[in-house]
Amino acid sequence: MAHFDTTLLKTNIVSSEVKQIAQILKSNSLSIYNDNDDAKLRDLLLVLNCIDLTTLAGDDTYSNVSRLCYRAIHPLSNKIVEKLSNHDDYHHRNNITTGAVCVYPLRVGDCRQYLDRIDSNLSIASVVAGFPSGQSPITVTLADITFAIQSGANEIDIVINRSLVLAGKWQELFNEIKIIAQHCHDQNVHLKVILSCGELGNLQNIYKASMCAMMAGADFIKTSTGKESINATLTYGLIMIRAITDFYIARKIRVGLKPAGGIKNASDALCWINLVRFYLGPEWLNNKLFRIGASSLLNNIEFEIFKLLFHRKPIENELSMT
């Protein structure tokens, strides 16, 4: 049973130290792959499997949403898949997919129609709660969630009302998320809570908002909507991971992490993989507890995988549909 505990909001964060650690991590993260192509390939495949492949455009249609689903199910070209099938350590990964697709509620039905037609069990996530502003009444949010679930969503991404954080109304924030979490869990749907870290004022607020979301029943906490001026940063990730760790110690519940917004290339994504590996451990290195929200990242990941496997850059038609 979710309950609010003010003692879990107490923290001592030295912003300058956290930012310094993030900078060091970013500088050193990629050095672990020096002369170790197998480790890099392993982690790039892991990144791919943890992507929530996303389209949140105002002009989304059945056509582009179905292409998104196809790409999520077939993220690598036939040439890469064939090469992987002959790779001793990765032959079992030739059916790899992304973690999910993520769309607005009105497009969930399009995803479900396409995926059912090809008999795929790929997860469908949907963003609600007045995304990206978080300024919708909870009654509207609950209605949106119901509509998305009835349309076929099995994951819900909500965005918090940042005004509650900035006003220090932690109990009220907890209460709102708890109602939403219960609504989702009653229908066996996972809940990701978007904190919009770049708009919370300071790192202490990010920690407290993370704790409120987890205490209220969030299955994941997510950095950003992708619409903020500052989105997913390793500094934010370190604070959220500290909260996840503290919550696990207090409640023995593992909560997932989802960075989103501004993660466009393999180097950025691998930094996040190593952040999770170093500070949370291997238990979190799977798409049950780690996701990356992205729209363009997959193209770069596929490009880098090709280079590792063939030791050259791809030419036209050697990569999958974009």
- Residue 87 pLDDT greater than 90, yes or no: no
Q: Domain boundaries in the chain? A: 14-310
The secondary structure of residue 260, as a DSSP letter, is: B
Q: Which residue out of 258, 288, 307, 313 is catalytically annotated?
A: 258
CA 257, CA 294: separation in Å to the nearest integer?
A: 14
pLDDT at 30: 84
The predicted model gives 93-103 an average pLDDT of 85
Confidence of residue 127 (pLDDT cuts 50, 70, 90): very high
The amino acid sitting at 284 is W
- Residue 94 pLDDT greater than 60, yes or no: no
CA 284, CA 88: separation in Å to the nearest integer?
A: 25
The listed range with the strongest mean pLDDT (10-14, 109-113, 134-138) is: 109-113
pLDDT at 95: 67
Question: Cα 157 to the chain's mean position, in Å?
Answer: 10
- Residue 254 pLDDT greater than 90, yes or no: yes
Return the structure tokens found at 169. Answer: 């109304």
Sheet strands (E) in the chain: 51-54, 100-103, 123-128, 155-159, 190-194, 220-222, 256-258, 292-294
- Per residue in 193-217, pLDDT (tens digit) is 999 999 999 999 999 999 999 999 9
The predicted model gives 142-162 an average pLDDT of 97
Distances in Å between the alpha carbon of 142 and those of 57, 156, 163, 193? 22, 11, 19, 14
Q: Please, what is the angle between helix 266-279 and helix 234-251, to 10°?
A: 30
The fold of the 14-310 domain, in CATH, is TIM Barrel (3.20.20)
- 51 DSSP β-pair partners: 292
* Structural contact between residues 214 and 255, judged by C-beta atoms closer than 8 angstroms: yes
Report which of residues 279 and 35 the model is more confident about: 279
Average pLDDT in the chain: 94
The secondary structure of residue 37, as a DSSP letter, is: H
Q: Which residue out of 83, 178, 192, 222 is catalytically annotated?
A: 222
The secondary structure of residue 294, as a DSSP letter, is: E
Report which of residues 87 and 294 the model is more confident about: 294
Which residue in this structure is represented by tokens 């496997």? 309
- Per residue in 160-199, pLDDT (tens digit) is 999 999 999 999 999 999 999 999 999 999 999 999 999 9
pLDDT at 91: 47
The predicted model gives 85-114 an average pLDDT of 84
The predicted model gives 268-287 an average pLDDT of 96
pLDDT at 237: 97
Distances in Å between the alpha carbon of 240 and those of 134, 209, 246? 20, 9, 10
- Residue 1 pLDDT greater than 60, yes or no: yes
Report which of residues 322 and 88 the model is more confident about: 88
Distances in Å between the alpha carbon of 118 and those of 48, 70, 95, 165? 21, 10, 15, 43
Residue 222 bears catalytic tag: yes
* Structural contact between residues 13 and 203, judged by C-beta atoms closer than 8 angstroms: yes
pLDDT at 80: 93
The secondary structure of residue 74, as a DSSP letter, is: S
pLDDT at 93: 54
